[in-house]
Amino acid sequence: MDIIQQIVSGDVRTIARVLRDIDDELPSSRSVLQRLHPHTGKAHVIGFTGSPGVGKSSLVDQIATAYRKESKTVGILAVDPTSPFTGGAILGDRIRMQRHFLDPGVFIRSLATRGQFGGLSKSTNDMVNVLDAAGKDVVLVETVGVGQDEVEIANSAHTTVLVMVPGMGDDIQAIKAGVMEIGNIFVVNKADREGSRKTVRELMNLVEIGARRRNDENWEPQIVETEAVKGRGIDKLCETIESHKAYLQAAGSEKWREASQKRIRLQLLGALRDEAFRAILARIEKSGDSIDEIVRRIVARESDPYTVVQQIVDGLR
Amino acid sequence: MANARKLRILVAKPGLDGHDRGARVVARAFRDAGFEVIYTGCHQTPEQIVSTAIQEDVDLIGLSILSGAHRYSFPRIMELLKENNAQDISVIGGGIFPLEDIPTLKAAGIKELFEPGAKLSDIIDWVGTNIIPRREAE
């Protein structure tokens, strides 16, 4: 069977292998992605982001269970950080998702950031496409634990869920730019803890004074309290996610298409950047020069980075 | 300019013992050696371990066991890999087991066994020498 057919028919081994080829940037994976493209565009991509330890994995586990009850198939991509020193990583998001390991309707893949900032790995969007083409009804993307500025998920997902816990700072945190702007849905997890109501109130204030996403003025960000490990609030969260999907797909609305366009624009620019960078590096090497040699010249103050870049770019014209 | 393949390893604890300090130490050593380590916690069945290994497309499964159930779970994992056409995934073990069980386990297909006292550097070296990341999917 052709590799594309194997993926589309949901063959686990093939899917797993192609995901790795993409992550490792093997040239062969590009042709697979090319041929998979016509099969993509169906899955609802839901992003979960938030600081480390707020309960993203546990929520993803619960949401996956809820979708399985409705017989929907689920793909999960969970990102953990790569060590900047050794390039190694410990990927531990699966620990919270053990009950899905034997369910053929759930495919879980752990990813490392591999030096990428922004909360996802470079390969995440392409991997979402593979799971989409493989027929998963929903793809849950869990970002690495984020701080204030990792907003890439908002461009990758149709629906972005920002997960918080009570007592993570005063209300000024809530009006900062960055992650607080990207939530379509805010979850206050560990809602049994002290200060949960206060956090919810602060979020309500935030929503009232206009935390709606730009170009998304008709969706009022929703706030949901949950206790992921006990399963509390999960039904409400699922309903809210589904109502966001309904909003995106409402008759006459362009929102779903806009969300897909955003995803594809991001991918296009990423692929263009990579390809251009690769071509330029190849060109430098072909000319008998090397990055190391250029660095040496710059360190010796024989040249400077700006002149070098200008020369390289001029050479392309 | 394809990157070199990154080695992916599943560190798993089959069976009922909940003492995963050893597994964590080894997982961390693998991380420090530059490998991507998938860690799934304790109390895994052989079925869960094999399913995870396949979905995560690992090159190697490192099993840690202290409970004495290695004579069941290790060969069972090898069987399941075979059933799933995934014999190319290598398996090593570590923990506490009688030395006389080693030949049986190796005959079942376990590539190497590390006893208590094994040096982390020896385990890393063994992996570096013996485990070659899979080539691209056909």
Q: What are the sequence ranges of the domains in chain A?
A: 41-253, 268-316
The alpha carbon of residue A150 is apart from the nearest alpha carbon of chain B, in Å, by 22
pLDDT of B43-89, one tens digit each?
999 999 999 999 999 999 999 999 888 989 999 999 999 999 999 99
Whole-number pLDDT of residue B1: 36
Q: Confidence class of residue A313 from pLDDT cuts 50, 70 and 90?
A: confident
**Beta strand extents in B1-138 (DSSP E only):** 8-12, 36-39, 60-65, 90-95, 112-114
Mean pLDDT of all residues in A18-30: 92
Q: For residues A39 and B62, what is the distance between their CA atoms, to the nearest angstrom?
A: 36
Residues in chain A: 317
> How many CA atoms lie within 13 Å of B131's alpha carbon, on the beta-carbon side?
27
Contact B39 A278 (CB under 8 A): no
Q: So what's the pLDDT on residue A146? A: 82
Q: Look at domain B8-130 and name its CATH class.
A: alpha beta
- For A68-88, what is each residue's pLDDT tens digit? 999 999 999 999 999 888 999
pLDDT exceeds 70 at position A172:
no
The answer to whether the CB atoms of A20 and B3 lie below 8 A apart is no
Domain ranges of chain B: 8-130
Confidence of residue A149 (pLDDT cuts 50, 70, 90): confident
**Percentage of residues in chain A with pLDDT exceeding 90?**
58
User: What was the pLDDT predicted at A67?
Assistant: 97
Distances (CA, A) of A192 to A166, A240, A241, A249, B83: 9, 20, 22, 34, 45
Out of A27, A32, A88, name the one closest to residue B2 (CB).
Answer: A27
Nearest to B55 by CA among A96, A35, A116, A10: A10
d(CA A119, CA A111): 11
pLDDT confidence bin for A204, thresholds 50/70/90? confident
Say if CB B75 and CB B105 are below 8 A apart: yes
Q: Which of B2, B39, B48 sits opposite A92 (nearest CB)?
A: B39
Pairing of strands B8-12, A222-225: unpaired
Would you say the ipTM is above 0.85?
yes
A94–B48 CB contact, under 8 Å: no
What are the φ/ψ torsions at residue A45 (nearest 5 degrees)? -95, 120
Quickly state the pLDDT bin for A275 (edges 50, 70, 90).
confident
- pTM for this structure? 0.90
Mutate one of B20, B51, B84, B120 to test the A interface: name it (highest A CB count within 10 A). Answer: B51
User: Is the Cβ pair A16, B34 closer than 8 Å?
Assistant: no
Residues B136, A26: C-beta atoms closer than 8 Å: yes
Check pLDDT > 80 for residue A243: yes
pLDDT at residue A215 greater than cutoff 70: no
Contact B35 A90 (CB under 8 A): no
**Which residues fall within 8 angstroms of residue A259, CB to CB, at 6 or more apart?**
A157, A158, A248
CA distance A222 to A237: 9
Choose the CATH number for A41-253 among 3.40.50.850, 3.40.50.12160, 3.40.50.300, 3.10.580.10.
Answer: 3.40.50.300
Question: CA B24 to CA B64: how far, in whole Å?
Answer: 10
Which residues in A lie closer than 8 A to residue B48 (C-beta atoms)? 98, 101-102
Q: Quick one: which of A227, A222, A177, A182 has its CA closest to A203?
A: A222
User: Cβ–Cβ of A12/B55 closer than 8 Å?
Assistant: yes
Read off the pLDDT band of A219 (50, 70, 90). confident
Q: Closest-CA residue in chain B for A14?
A: B137
C-alpha to C-alpha distance for A233 and A209, rounded to whole angstroms: 25
CB-CB neighbours of B138 under 10 Å: 7
Question: What distances in angstroms separate CA B46 from CA B38, B76, B91, one per listed residue?
Answer: 16, 7, 12
pLDDT digits (tens, 9 = 90+) for A108-146: 999 999 988 888 888 999 999 999 999 999 999 999 888
State the first-to-last Cα distance of chain A, in angstroms, to the nearest integer. Answer: 44
Residues of A in contact with B56 (CB under 8 A): 16, 108-110
Rounded CA-CA distance B26/A105 in Å is 32
pLDDT at A213 over 60: no
